[in-house]
């Protein structure tokens, strides 16, 4: 296959006009095949990687359903998300084990849909004061023993672990865990000094920046200021038009730079579904338009998939090349899969998306083959 005429995303140069070639599952410098795809007037970008989403199409990763995970993987792929790292919620230990086992079995069976490249543990090591939509009854202090069990049950798929660094034992947990997983600060009341110590000990990411943490202010910069002062610390951003004001999205890209921002969707099971009543982590959620809330009004995740979040970022004034980097390159690096995907270099997987001038999906290729696209 040779894709010609399109504006192709290049990690170093932004968008350039060149051919993209692949025969079989991998990108190549040339194509021996006879098929040509005319992408004139379109953008050619790498398949996206969502490192933080809970569900879609009526399913939730926390349910621990093998069939549900298949539904999620198929839907994500149809939306140009070719690699997924689904997130669990704050759950009891047996259910955390269950979701890790389901993920490992899904990966081993090479099920259809987006490639499952990791598991994100958003909980249970979080602050009750900033629990957001997490179930406060199931929160617990950071436990290295539990993390090791979940790493074992997932066959090493746990890639991200969220933790509130002010909790008892959190610093010891971060120091012990940082060689095995990416530790991300989240759902926290931590101040600047506590956060800086957590980053010094090995934490290197912040979960959904601004949400469920103290604000960034001139005398109390908190987690946000500490992350900014820590080179190499990445920050997640939910760019669905609900969680973060457009001006703050623009400011975040200016402050941190496009290489440190990771766009995430944080979708719950209502993504790709009509308005109505749903659940998240065992709690009731009401969805109206793009807004999902608990019965007390707390925002309960998103219903906008990652491709939609990327498009929203561009509508807020973020250059397309920066938005693509934040949705494809940076998340792939964060979970250690960038050597295989996340850009359009020869030798990487032929996972790519064709977008029209309005950034609507025209086609998705996964492992070199076209897949059905959903609205």
At residue 279, the pLDDT reads 86
Is there a contact between 191 and 214 (Cβ–Cβ < 8 Å)?
yes
Angle at 25 between CA 20 and CA 31, to 5 degrees: 40
Q: In the chain, what is the greatest distance between 2 CA atoms, to the nearest angstrom?
A: 63
- Measured over the CA atoms of residue 246, residue 251, residue 257 and residue 260, the dihedral's sign is negative
Angle at 354 between CA 350 and CA 359, to 5 degrees: 140
- Residue among 50, 43, 16 nearest 359 (CA): 43
Is there a contact between 154 and 100 (Cβ–Cβ < 8 Å)?
yes
Hey, what are 29's tokens?
Answer: 């410098």
Could you write out the DSSP letters of every residue in 281-327? TTEEEEEETTEEEETTS-B--BSS-HHHHHHHHHHTT--HHHHHIII
Based on DSSP, count helices (H) and strands (E) in the chain, helices before strands: 10, 25
Q: Which residue in 240, 266, 305, 363 is the catalytic one? A: 266
Angle at 135 between CA 273 and CA 114, to 5 degrees: 40
At residue 141, the pLDDT reads 97
Known active-site residue 266: yes
* Distance, CA of 187 to CA of 190 (rounded, Å): 9
User: What H or E segment, with its residue span, contains residue 224?
Assistant: helix 222-228
* Distance, CA of 293 to CA of 276 (rounded, Å): 11
* Distance, CA of 298 to CA of 266 (rounded, Å): 14
What is the full per-residue pLDDT of the chain (375 aa) written as tens digits? 999 999 999 999 999 999 999 988 999 988 766 789 999 999 999 999 999 999 999 999 999 999 999 999 999 999 999 999 999 999 999 999 999 999 999 999 999 999 999 999 999 999 999 998 899 999 999 999 999 999 999 999 999 999 999 999 999 999 999 999 999 999 999 999 999 999 999 999 999 999 999 999 999 999 999 999 999 999 999 999 999 999 999 999 999 999 999 999 999 999 999 999 998 877 889 999 999 998 888 888 899 999 999 999 999 999 999 999 999 999 999 999 999 999 999 999 999 999 999 999 999 999 999 998 876
Is there a contact between 177 and 201 (Cβ–Cβ < 8 Å)?
no
């Amino acid at each position: 296959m040779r894709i010609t005429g399109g504006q192709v995303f290049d990690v170093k140069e932004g968008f350039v006009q060149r051919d993209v070639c692949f025969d079989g599952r991998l990108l190549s410098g040339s194509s021996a095949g006879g098929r040509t795809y005319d992408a004139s007037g379109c953008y050619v970008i790498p398949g996206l990687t969502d490192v933080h989403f809970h569900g879609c199409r009526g399913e939730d990763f926390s349910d621990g359903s093998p069939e549900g995970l298949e539904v999620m993987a198929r839907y994500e792929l149809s939306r140009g998300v070719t690699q997924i790292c689904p997130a669990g919620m704050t759950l009891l230990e047996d259910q955390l084990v269950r979701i890790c086992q389901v993920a490992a079995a899904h990966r081993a069976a090479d099920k259809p849909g987006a490639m499952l490249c990791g598991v994100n543990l958003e909980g249970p090591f979080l602050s009750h004061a900033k629990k957001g939509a997490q179930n406060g009854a199931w929160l617990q202090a950071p436990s290295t023993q539990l993390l090791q069990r979940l790493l074992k049950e997932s066959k090493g798929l746990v890639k991200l672990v969220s933790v509130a660094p002010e909790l008892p034992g959190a610093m010891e947990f971060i120091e012990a865990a940082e060689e095995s997983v990416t530790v991300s600060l989240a759902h926290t009341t931590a101040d600047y000094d506590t956060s800086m110590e957590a980053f010094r000990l090995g934490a290197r990411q912040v979960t959904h920046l601004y949400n469920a943490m103290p604000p960034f202010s001139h005398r109390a910069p908190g987690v946000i200021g500490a992350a900014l002062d820590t080179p190499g610390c990445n920050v997640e951003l939910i760019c669905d038009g609900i969680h973060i004001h457009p001006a703050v999205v623009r400011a975040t890209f200016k402050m941190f730079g496009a290489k440190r921002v990771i766009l995430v969707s944080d979708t719950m099971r209502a993504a790709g579904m009509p308005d109505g009543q749903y659940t998240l982590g065992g709690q009731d959620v009401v969805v109206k338009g793009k807004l999902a809330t608990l019965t007390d009004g707390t925002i309960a995740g998103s219903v906008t998939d990652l491709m939609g979040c990327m498009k929203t970022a561009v509508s807020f004034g973020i250059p397309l090349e920066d938005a693509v980097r934040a949705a494809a390159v940076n998340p792939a690096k964060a979970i250690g899969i960038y050597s295989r995907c996340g850009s359009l270099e020869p030798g990487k997987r032929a996972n790519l998306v064709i977008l029209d001038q309005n950034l609507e999906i025209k086609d998705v290729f996964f492992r070199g083959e076209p897949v059905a696209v959903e609205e």
